[in-house]
Amino acid sequence: MSLDATTIRRVASLARLRVEEADVPRLQAELNGILGWIEQLQSVDTTGVEPLAGGGDTVLPLRPDAVTDGGQAEAVLANAPDRAGSFFAVPKVVE
């Protein structure tokens, strides 16, 4: 399938795109190239290949939901520029 300049202008109009007349040949070449790739993909033999709409059958491995590194408030707060007890202290931003 090959698009002509009139079709390019029509598609741009439907997409509400303003296309300068000087850009029409470049867009025509780019869109024809894209359509060429689509034609190549359509020629691939896909007999016996199940349609796939996502990774629905794939089950992701899960790790146990357990705390493995906690109780280190002092080590974490040692890097804080300011602290209030066992919390980070931040400047007031709402008055």
Measured CA to CA, the distance from residue 84 to residue 95 in angstroms comes to 20
Which pTM value belongs to this model? 0.50
Place of tokens 């794939």: 58
Q: Please tell me the predicted confidence (pLDDT) of residue 55.
A: 66
Q: Is 8 exposed, middle or buried (0-12, 13-18, 19+ CB in 10 A)?
A: buried
What is the chain's pLDDT, residue by residue, as a tens digit (95 residues)? Answer: 789 999 999 999 999 999 999 999 999 999 999 999 999 999 999 898 888 777 666 778 888 888 777 778 888 889 888 988 888 999 888 87
Helix ranges, 1-95 (H): 5-14, 24-42, 73-77
